[in-house]
Amino acid sequence: MKNSKALIILSFIAIYFIWGSTYLLNKIAVTELPPFFLASIRFSVAGLLMVVIAIALKHKLNVSKKQLMNSAIASFFFLVYGNGVFVWALKFVDSGFGALIASTQPLFVLFLLRLIDRKPLQKKSLIGVAFGMIGMYLLVSQQELTTSEGSMLGIFMILTCVLSWSYGSVFVSKADLPKSFLVTTGYQMLVAGLVLLIASLSFNEEWSSPLIWSSDVQISMFLLITFGGIVAFTSFNYLLKVVSPEKVSTSAYVNPVIALFMGWYFLEETLTLQSIVASVILLTGVYFITSRKRE
């Protein structure tokens, strides 16, 4: 029991802080590499490593057709669309700005659970939605951040990615998946790597050898694969099975704060007073949504 509690705490630390840093790492990598090529390499390598680790730990790789199909569906919502398209959108928006938009995930999860489970919204949820919408308006209405070419397209696509990721969270919490989280994560990443590889070829992206990438991109890719992929995503899949999807989505509290600070510190991204105010209002809304009584 103690080990289980410790594992849950460590898993939350992983999705809070490691994922908070992946916005910066993806932004660094996507300035030099095509987005779908970048995401394909990241997930293919991470997926292979996950399978190797699973074999080394003697986890069974054989799964039912339904489990394989559910893993592929989850892979699409999380990695192919939710992450692959998000990385593409980072070409047009700052990493911290993108992270703040992504912090609306609990709001999306709430609406999806309302639609799927038909449960009425509680007062705290309604207050949270109101704060969330005000915060989002303040965030995306900043002319200095949204006048650059492609920025509005980037914002819109990130919102669709958040919706995709949110639905994936609800889907996984109810789906029949392999019992081993290593196997589940490995299969999801391998499926994503293959689909994103096809997407990269379809868009005629230019491929390049890791040997000619800059050292910053090489380091970023290594960290994305090992920590952002293997450690954090396995932790995420584990948490979705042992705690509620709303609790898992509380990573939206911490991720944007980490991403905003790292983007400002390492990439000298714009950090306006309006962004800070918007983030406080937005995260207050997230607090109200995730602290409501469980039914």
3-class SS of residue 266: helix
From the list 191, 235, 164, the residue with the least C-alpha distance to 69 is 191
Per-residue pLDDT of the chain (295 residues; tens, 9 = 90+): 556 888 999 999 899 899 899 999 999 999 999 999 999 999 999 999 999 999 999 999 999 999 999 999 999 999 999 999 999 999 998 898 888 888 888 788 888 888 887 767 778 888 888 888 898 888 878 776 665 678 889 989 999 999 999 999 889 888 999 988 889 989 999 999 999 999 999 999 999 999 999 999 999 999 999 999 889 988 888 888 888 877 787 787 778 888 888 999 999 888 888 888 988 898 888 788 777 655 5
Residues whose CB falls within 8 Å of the CB of residue 79, separated by 6 or more in sequence, listed in order: 39, 43, 188, 189, 191, 192, 196
**How far does Cα 241 stand from its chain's mean position?**
17
pTM: 0.84
